[in-house]
Amino acid sequence: METEITKISSKGQVVIPLRIRNELGINKGSILAVEKMNDLVILKKIDVDLIKQFKNSLEDVKKGRIKRVA
């Protein structure tokens, strides 16, 4: 694993190095989860299709199409 160095802007923005963005398929508009673990900041790419599936499942529950979730 090769370490990359980046800098935080005055607005708190972080540039993710191009090599890493390309490897993970992170593009403009990609959604990332941000977590803190001790002194680490963890960014995780979120699958947009998974979010859509979750929203659709919630709609099914609200409309009574699903009565029980495992």
Pairing type for strands 31-37 and 40-46 reads antiparallel
Q: According to the model, what pLDDT value does residue 58 have?
A: 78
Q: According to the model, what pLDDT value does residue 50 have?
A: 72
Q: According to the model, what pLDDT value does residue 8 have?
A: 94
Phi first, then psi: give them for residue 2, nearest 5 degrees: -100, 130
H-helix or E-strand spanning residue 32: strand 31-37
Which numeric CATH code is attached to 1-70?
2.10.260.10
CA 42 – CA 24 distance, rounded (Å): 14
Burial class (CB in 10 A: 0-12, 13-18, 19+), 24: middle
Q: What does each of the 70 residues of the chain score in pLDDT, given as a tens digit?
A: 788 899 999 999 999 999 999 999 999 989 899 999 999 999 998 877 777 777 777 777 778 777 665 5
DSSP 8-state secondary structure symbol assigned to residue 29: T
